[in-house]
Structure 1
Amino acid sequence: EFGPMKFCTEQDLENIVGDTEKKCKISVMADIGRFDPNALIPKSESYVDMMRVASYVKDIDKAIDLVNILNAKGYETTINIMAVSHARERELDEALEQIEKESTVDVVYLVDSFGALYSEQIAHLAKKYKAALPTRELGIHAHNNQQLAFANTIESIIQNINYLDGTIWGIGRAAGNCPLELLLGFLKNPKFDIRPILQVLQSDFVELRENVEWGYTIPYVITGILDLHPRAAMKLRNSDKKDEYLEFYNKLTSEANV
């Protein structure tokens, strides 16, 4: 139904990596409650290097329990705190404090789940995370609802965040993410070569884009402006009213009493 990369096996990864020398790390998302971490093979037997655990603030204790098990098996780990634009300040502070005290996680991610944050808010949150998590690395995962994923990633670099998420042509659910090709161009680091990205863009992504929609689209702009989950916009884009933007905006603002 979803393809091999939705719930990938070691065999799926072996089919990609094969006998070639692995020159980059492989990371996967590990969803709380959707697999048994105790049944997971140790890192020494796996192609996977890093497990990324996505969690809402209210579930942070479950995320901590999961990353501690994964770290004990030898994996690098992250906790990606989702929907921080909806989190209460005190509850976020308590979650960060709990991560610092109780977890063995390597990296904690600031996630703009709804593409609603602006650079000033990213700077504020980055400083908060750094103050609360002095022994951890930080990451940024931006969504491009308002065409700000790249700008917010740059702001994160300015704030000394070192783990930067990007995807080729910004591909991702709904509005997508920070375009990797833009990020590589900005970093101007000689160890990064943009040529393979340009090659796969022209050989695969041009055709893919004709059949699959992602990225900056007006319904996702609307949910980003209103700081809402993109599910309503995704539903709209799959309907016969996919371009009825004003009606969609009026509906959402009416429901939210905006």
Structure 2
Amino acid sequence: MYKADIKVMDCTVRDGGLMNKWQFSDDFVRGVYKGCVEAGVDYMEIGYKSSESAFSRDEVGPWKFCDDKDLRRVVGDNDTKLKLSAMADIGRIAPEDIPPANESLIDMMRVACYCHQVDKAIWLAEHCMDKGYEVTINLMAVSKVNESDLDEALATLAKSRVPIIYVVDSFGSLYCESIEKLVKKYAAALPGKELGIHAHNNMQLAMSNTVTSLINGVTMLDATLLGMGRGAGNCPIEILIAFLKNPKYRLLPLLEAIQTQVKPWQEKIDWGYHIPYLITGALNEHPRSAMQWMDSEKKDDFVAFMKEMHDYELLE
């Protein structure tokens, strides 16, 4: 599906880092970066921008902070067409810890927030805009938000200067029909703004939900190498690029990055489609309980997990 205005963002390091506390080697990040550059990918989300006061470097790797010295060690001056992105979580980054864009290798700051944090997200995003960054706001966990609250959040976003708003299927619980409805709602409520999609793969629908979004006018598409990401992971970028058939993208460099960098991690961390993630997705629940189950000796006892989650649902 060729569309000239499509932009693809690789989130492998940022989202995949949720599975290993961003403790990737420089060679790994450099390999992903090289693959994205050679593949013609538009953006690479190389991690989070967080304050040192919010996290300890003894527990998390450098890609939780994205300090310029770490970025330059891996990508040099990034003298390429690839733009670098970092994600900022509300409450985990102090505005003064974000340098002016002309002093940073980061091109885009993506502010992640929940509906009740929209005002704070707008303030931070516009603060980043004033410092020279491209910005987005990624509205998380909308599958848990009632319609009136979502409408109110979108109305507030519509009044902001923020140019790009993301539909985020945080729990991998949405079907194509729901994604289509949400995208149309966002488009109607946010005239003149660009839309993005970030899909999780709990029910093996991340790719189809991304395509549904694309068909309905979304132009910023998130994906990761081999679907690497939190829990069930994300839309696999290699499948997305193969589908797009856009001459500006190349598949082979992504396959090389998967083979040399990402695939070996499957022996160390367990992301991707697994039954516990399906269960939390089907129940529209955060995958944290499934992630804990997958880290236990009971990870293959799907029946016990389903019964435990069913009892949890009855208590709700």
The TM-score range, normalised by the shorter chain, is over 0.9
Q: Secondary structure at the match of 1:104?
A: coil
Asked if the contact 1:53–1:78 (Cα under 8 Å) also holds between the matched residues in 2, the reply is yes
Partner of 1:68: 126
Moved over 4 A (4+): none
2:96 is the alignment partner of 1:38: yes
Match of 2:294 in 1: 237
Aligned to 2:84: 26
- Name stretches of at least 5 consecutive residues in structure 1 with no aligned partner: none
Instruction: Indicate yes or no: 2:76 matched with 1:8.
Output: no
Aligned residues: 257
Indicate the residue corresponding to 1:121 in structure 2. Answer: 178
Q: Which amino acid aligns with 2:285?
A: L
Question: What CA RMSD, in Å, does the superposition of the two structures yield over aligned residues?
Answer: 1.1
Residue by residue over 1:36-82, the C-alpha shift from the partner in whole angstroms, topping out at 9 and shown as x without a partner, is: 11342111111001001111101111111111111111111111010
Q: Verify: 1:208 aligned to 2:262, yes or no.
A: no
Which one of the candidate residues 205, 224, 227 is aligned to 1:170? Answer: 227
The offset of 1:23, in angstroms, is 2.2
Aligned to 2:213: 156
Kindly state the Cα deviation for residue 201 of structure 1 after the two structures are TM-superposed.
1.3
Distance, in Å, in 2 between the alignment partners of 1:39 and 1:211 is 33
User: Per the alignment, do residues 60 and 19 of structure 1 end up closer, same or farther by CA in structure 2, a change over 3 Å counting?
Assistant: closer
Aligned match of 2:107: 49
TM-score norm. by structure 2 comes to 0.79
Residue of 144, 150, 163 corresponding to 1:106? 163
Identity %: 52
TM-score (norm 1): 0.97
> Contact 2:77/2:105 (CA < 8 Å) preserved in 1?
no
| 1:94 alignment partner, one of 152, 155, 167 | 152
Counterpart CA distance in 2 for 1:159 and 1:142 is 15
The offset of 1:203, in angstroms, is: 1.3
Contact 1:51 1:75 in 2 (8 A): yes
Does the 8 Å CA contact 1:38/1:69 hold for their aligned counterparts? no
- Paired residue for 2:15? none
Residue of structure 2 equivalent to 1:247 = 304
Q: Whose RCO is larger (CA < 8 A, sep 6+)?
A: 2
Alpha-carbon separation, structure 2, partners of 1:225 and 1:19:
44
Partner of residue 225, structure 1:
282
Residues 198-248 of structure 1 show CA distances to partners (whole Å, capped at 9, x for unaligned) of 111111222111111111011000000110000100110111111111111
